[in-house]
Amino acid sequence: MSEAHIYEQGYRSYDGPRLGAAASVRSLAIHSVRRGLGLRRTFWAKLLPIATVVIAYVPATVFVGIAALIPDEITDELDAIPSYADYFGNITAAILLFVAVVGPEVLCSDRRNGMLGMYLASPLTRETYLLAKVLAVVPVLLLVTLGPQLLLLIGRSLVDAGPDTATDFVLVLVRSLAAGLMVSTVYTAVSLAAASLTDRRAFASAG
């Protein structure tokens, strides 16, 4: 049996580019987005996020189809198509499910696998670490808070059932952007707060 030998003991200094804290925040945010959506992971890690996003878009697709096929007089009388503001009520379950998946996934995993200490030993501080997580979760949540709203607005406009004038279209668009961003921000705060109390994703999701 041959003996094992270890050569070149010690550390070698890093001589590559040093991009600073901003680059670290950007890199961690991108990594967290991929983890939250299950990218570069197994199919089962992608299944729930993808299914939740699809569920959030289904009502908008149906309402656009109704607007295209049924006359306005009938849809208005039956109140078959909700307003843009009321649409959130139709996808509340999908939003909550998506929030319960994404928030704990991007926060709890760092504590469970020991990466939190590594991040805080880098140029990241507690504040910039949390900033990176917020910058990751908010855009991901926009997939289910803003995306369906834009689909509903553009789809109804294409079938001549949307805003009457260009000014009204811009007004609805701005309101949709503001509402989607506000809802995403609130749910990001709630999900990350729940995930900060435990390192187990199941408990954080339930919370």
User: Residues 85-117: pLDDT tens digits?
Assistant: 788 888 888 888 888 888 888 888 888 888 888
Instruction: Kindly report, residue by residue over 2-59, the tens digit of the pLDDT.
Output: 566 666 666 667 677 777 788 889 999 999 899 888 887 787 778 888 888 899 999 8
pLDDT at 185 over 90: yes
List the one residue out of 152, 156, 161, 168 whose CA is nearest residue 71.
Answer: 161
Helix (H, G, I), strand (E, B) or coil at 150: helix
Element (H, E) at 17: none
pLDDT of the residue at 84: 79
pTM for the whole structure: 0.79
- Rounded to a whole number of angstroms, the CA Rg of the chain reads 23
* Percent of the chain clearing pLDDT 70 (strictly above): 88
Distances (CA, A) of 53 to 125, 177, 205: 32, 18, 17
